[in-house]
Amino acid sequence: MSDESVISLRGVRAELGSRPVLRGIDLSVRRGQVVALLGANGSGKSTAVRTIIGQVPVTDGEIELFGTPRRRFRDWGRVGYVPQRTTAAGGVPATVTEVVSSGRLSRARFGVLRKADHEAVRRALDLVGMADRAKDSVNALSGGQHQRVLIARALAAEPELLIMDEPMAGVDLASQEVLAATLRKQVAAGATVLLVLHELGPLEPLIDRAVVLRDGCVLHDGPPPEAVGQHALPGHDHVHPHAPAGAEPIRTGLLS
Amino acid sequence: MEILNYAFMQRALLAAVLVGITAPAIGIYLVQRRQALMGDGIGHVAMTGVGLGFLLSWSPVWMATLVSVLGAVLMELIRWYGKTRGDIALAMLFYGGMAGGVMFINLAPGGSNANLTSYLFGSLSTVSESDVTAICLLAAFVVLVTVGLRRQLFAVSQDEEFARVTGLPVRALNLLTAVTAAVTVTVAMRVVGLLLVSALMVVPVAAAQQLTRSFAATFAISVALGVSVTIGGTVTSYYQDVPPGATIVLLTIGAFILLSLLAAPLARRRARALAAAHPAEDPAECKIPATRGAADEVGV
């Protein structure tokens, strides 16, 4: 792990419509770190990630990727992104390979995929255990398999930084384990990861740091909360010690 | 083939083939991004262009191209900025375009709604030499974009948010899609008419989807289908004296129904093959394990 910041947000504010969603977020992810962004629905964790990739405009603050201001950042082959989706399908049938190949465009010149690019797509499919479904239509896949395709698409560019928005949502247990194993290999190979999560789940052992958002502010930034004793029970409401006295319990969903 | 002895039929068939290629070629991206009716909207806006062409004694084809390209760019801008009231703004654009067409053509010296009819429903037999030149140039542009940029357009139409992170110029590609759709509308205007254009953009793609699993195959089959129905419709209209635009659209819908009927047994066979290839994932029947473990205990 080095001191180099791969993602850096300083005082980032953003609005959706005219409603403020982020109220000055500071977040720095260093090379090799695995950071989980946690928080209840509406806390701004997805919006934070979407400002990083430029999908949501910021009204104030600075964002840097690999030390370059995001506006001037062009080296997108270094970033793999898994958006929050329940399906990889569009309005027209497409095979698993066709969808995953899109992820390689950041490394391809003028949209032309060469032999090395096709091999990278193949490796990405192997990593998520979908190589045998390469020629199948994505419409024929289960929810967990859709998620594996979306992750393969992000891995096809062989990125140094993975940004994933709720990769475990709606994923069956078998696929969750495949995804956790895939991520473990990426982390072992030195990848930096920023994950938006609703619950730590099977990824818990991988996570170095947890950042908890609430109402568009950073509430906690440090080691992931440990589930012990009473807290380990399902359905437990997580009351964070940093919360102001008398605040209603924040339901991070970490333990439910 | 006496039909090929007439110059007007040669022009008609050439125009028909070009429409059969270009309409599904851009239509597939509109269907993929779930904007299947965009072609219909552009068709409405193009009417203002036709009306202006008559009023200013310009070529209605080029004027319609200009106005529908502007309209398509405006629609794309409305989609970016006017997220909440976008549909109302689009409705105003569509009906304003239609009303503008009727107004301008009636203001034109000697113009009446009768002139407009040939653009609304197509008029293959009156396609002129200069129309053919315009159609060829515009069709070449559409093919260049839809085939040359297929990977980029596929990525943007499949998942815009993801495409942004691959560094693709998403806004430029969206604008290019809109402009190409507008150009296609004017290519198809003389063949099937502005009101029926959208059918040729959408229905061949929908029909091809009944059989296909991949985007590439859907593209190829919908273009082949587009060419077949436009040639079939043109030839039928010559021998039977029926309007070509309506014949082409009805043939396309017929092809869709036929392929849907064929697709049902094909889908069943594929499902069986898939289940046989991956028995662990999709067991045909429920299996109850002989012994129950701790994991099966249900807490109360």
How would residue A229 be classed by pLDDT, with cut points 50, 70 and 90? very low
CA distance B93 to chain A (A): 24
A81/B162 touch (CB, cutoff 8 Å), yes or no: yes
How would residue B1 be classed by pLDDT, with cut points 50, 70 and 90? low
Predicted confidence (pLDDT) at residue B74 exceeds the cutoff of 80: yes
Least CB-CB distance to A90: which of B32, B212, B216?
B32
Considering only A48-52, B40-44, B118-122, B169-173, which range has the smallest mean pLDDT?
Answer: B118-122
A25: β partners: A12
CA distance A112 to chain B (A): 8
Q: Is the dihedral of CA B99, B105, B106, B108 positive or negative?
A: positive
Q: What is the mean pLDDT of residues A165-191?
A: 87
A105/B151 touch (CB, cutoff 8 Å), yes or no: yes
Considering only A62-66, B257-261, B277-281, which range has the smallest mean pLDDT?
Answer: B277-281
- CA R_g for chain A: 18
Q: What is the mean pLDDT of residues A79-103?
A: 91
Q: What is the mean pLDDT of residues B15-34?
A: 94
Q: What is the mean pLDDT of chain A?
A: 84
Nearest chain B alpha carbon to A50:
B161
Q: What is the mean pLDDT of residues B157-179?
A: 92
- Residues of B within 8 A of A157 (CB-CB) are 166
Minimal CA–CA distance to A196: which of A95, A85, A121, A77? Answer: A85
- Residues of B within 8 A of A135 (CB-CB) are 213-214
In a domain, B206, yes or no: yes
Residue A36 touches chain B, beta carbons under 8 Å: no
Phi then psi for residue A100, to 5 deg, are -65, -35
B151/A101 touch (CB, cutoff 8 Å), yes or no: yes
How would residue B32 be classed by pLDDT, with cut points 50, 70 and 90? very high
How far apart are alpha carbons A100 and A125 in whole angstroms?
Answer: 8
Least CB-CB distance to B214: which of A54, A98, A108?
A98
Token pair of B64, please?
Answer: 């319609």
Amino acid at B188: A
Condensed to tens digits (0 to 9), the pLDDT of residues A19-62 reads 889 999 999 999 999 999 998 888 889 999 999 998 888 999 99
Nearest chain B alpha carbon to A158:
B166
In a domain, B286, yes or no: no
In this structure, are residues B69 and B182 in contact, taking their beta carbons and an 8 Å threshold? Answer: yes
CA distance B167 to chain A (A): 5
A92/B218 touch (CB, cutoff 8 Å), yes or no: yes
Nearest chain B alpha carbon to A52:
B165
- Residues of A within 8 A of B277 (CB-CB) are 132
Predicted confidence (pLDDT) at residue B292 exceeds the cutoff of 70: no
- Residues of A within 8 A of B26 (CB-CB) are none
CA distance B166 to chain A (A): 4
Look at strands A58-65 and A79-82 and give their pairing: unpaired
DSSP label at residue A108: S
Task: Quote the pLDDT of residue A240.
Answer: 46
Task: Quote the pLDDT of residue B258.
Answer: 94
In a domain, B284, yes or no: no
Look at strands A68-69 and A19-30 and give their pairing: unpaired
- Residues of A within 8 A of B145 (CB-CB) are none
Number of CB pairs < 8 Å for A and B?
Answer: 103
Percent with pLDDT over 70 in chain A:
87
Task: Quote the pLDDT of residue B293.
Answer: 53
Residue B202 touches chain A, beta carbons under 8 Å: no
In a domain, B202, yes or no: yes
How far apart are alpha carbons A148 and A127 in whole angstroms?
Answer: 9
Q: What is the mean pLDDT of residues B187-200?
A: 88
Using DSSP, state whether A84 is helix, strand or coil: coil
B158/A81 touch (CB, cutoff 8 Å), yes or no: no
Tokens 């436009």 label which residue? B230
How far apart are alpha carbons B300 and B295 in whole angstroms?
Answer: 14
Condensed to tens digits (0 to 9), the pLDDT of residues B195-245 reads 888 999 999 999 999 999 999 999 999 999 999 999 999 999 989 988 888
Residue B295 touches chain A, beta carbons under 8 Å: no
The range of the structural domain enclosing residue B60 comes to 2-278
Residue A111 touches chain B, beta carbons under 8 Å: yes
How would residue B85 be classed by pLDDT, with cut points 50, 70 and 90? low
B213/A106 touch (CB, cutoff 8 Å), yes or no: no
Nearest chain B alpha carbon to A95:
B214
Residue A235 touches chain B, beta carbons under 8 Å: no
Minimal CA–CA distance to A84: which of A142, A167, A177, A16? Answer: A167
Percent with pLDDT over 70 in chain B:
90
Q: What is the mean pLDDT of residues B170-199?
A: 90
Amino acid at B219: F
Minimal CA–CA distance to B201: which of A227, A194, A92? Answer: A92
CATH number, domain with residue B261: 1.10.3470.10
Least CB-CB distance to B213: which of A88, A93, A113?
A93
Considering only A29-33, A222-226, A235-239, B14-18, which range has the smallest mean pLDDT?
Answer: A235-239
How far apart are alpha carbons A213 and A25 in whole angstroms?
Answer: 9
How far apart are alpha carbons B113 and B105 in whole angstroms?
Answer: 7
Q: What is the ipTM of this complex?
A: 0.84
Using DSSP, state whether A197 is helix, strand or coil: coil
Least CB-CB distance to A53: which of B31, B165, B281?
B165
Nearest chain A alpha carbon to B204:
A92
Phi then psi for residue B30, to 5 deg, are -65, -40
CA distance A246 to chain B (A): 32
Q: What is the mean pLDDT of chain B?
A: 87
How far apart are alpha carbons B193 and B200 in whole angstroms?
Answer: 11
How far apart are alpha carbons B209 and A190 in whole angstroms?
Answer: 42
CA distance B160 to chain A (A): 9
Residue B215 touches chain A, beta carbons under 8 Å: yes
Phi then psi for residue A29, to 5 deg, are -115, 120
How would residue A200 be classed by pLDDT, with cut points 50, 70 and 90? confident
Task: Quote the pLDDT of residue B79.
Answer: 79
Please count the structural domains in chain B: 1
Predicted confidence (pLDDT) at residue B295 exceeds the cutoff of 60: no
A217: β partners: A214
- Residues of B within 8 A of A94 (CB-CB) are 154, 158, 214-215
Residues in chain B: 300
Task: Quote the pLDDT of residue A112.
Answer: 85
Using DSSP, state whether A193 is helix, strand or coil: strand
The rounded Cα A132 to chain-centroid distance in angstroms is 25
In this structure, are residues A66 and A75 in contact, taking their beta carbons and an 8 Å threshold? Answer: yes
Task: Quote the pLDDT of residue B298.
Answer: 53
Predicted confidence (pLDDT) at residue A238 exceeds the cutoff of 70: no
Give the start-end residues of each E strand in A4-135: 5-16, 19-30, 34-38, 58-65, 68-69, 79-82
Predicted confidence (pLDDT) at residue A161 exceeds the cutoff of 80: yes
Residue B171 touches chain A, beta carbons under 8 Å: no
How far apart are alpha carbons A217 and A45 in whole angstroms?
Answer: 10
Domain A5-232, CATH among 3.90.1170.50, 3.40.190.10, 3.40.50.300, 3.40.50.261: 3.40.50.300
Task: Quote the pLDDT of residue A89.
Answer: 86
Instruction: Compare B154 and B292 and report the one with higher pLDDT.
Output: B154
How far apart are alpha carbons B10 and B7 in whole angstroms?
Answer: 5
Q: What is the mean pLDDT of residues B27-45?
A: 91
B167/A106 touch (CB, cutoff 8 Å), yes or no: yes
Q: What is the mean pLDDT of residues B246-275?
A: 88
In this structure, are residues B29 and B153 in contact, taking their beta carbons and an 8 Å threshold? Answer: yes
How far apart are alpha carbons B93 and B90 in whole angstroms?
Answer: 5
Distances (CA, A) of B83 to B86, B89, B199, B206: 5, 10, 27, 28
Task: Quote the pLDDT of residue B67.
Answer: 94
Considering only A209-213, B124-128, B173-177, which range has the smallest mean pLDDT?
Answer: B124-128
